[in-house]
Amino acid sequence: MNASLNFKKSFEAVESLMNLQMGTINKSIELQKKSSDELANFFKGEAEKAQKLTTPDEVMAFNIESSKALFELLKSQGDAFTAVATEARVAATEELSKLTA
């Protein structure tokens, strides 16, 4: 009887982990779509701004500010992916700890 309970517990844990994986993959795909849209909009906006530049000083200042903004955007996107990964790790760890409890 104990073996069947352990099997059931293990099966439920595997099922839960698979659902967690699917959820994490779905979140990751949605985040990738959002990141792609943000980057496309960023570059479109920067291209429009660049068309109005007339002096080398404006180009230099624009390039510096544009690079800073791009790096901040990429950092925020990286932070979002890190949050998804951390959430998944915590949930998986909790699920695996149920097996030993």
Q: Is this prediction's pTM over 0.85?
A: no
Tell me how many degrees the CA angle 79-88-20 measures, rounded to the nearest 5: 140
Distance CA 26, CA 88 (A): 12
CA atoms of 88 and 20, how far apart (whole Å): 7
Hey, what are 46's tokens? Answer: 């920067």
**pLDDT single digits (tens) 23-47:** 999 999 999 999 999 999 999 999 9
Distance CA 88, CA 11 (A): 19
Write out pLDDT tens, residues 50-89: 999 999 999 999 999 999 999 999 999 999 999 999 999 9
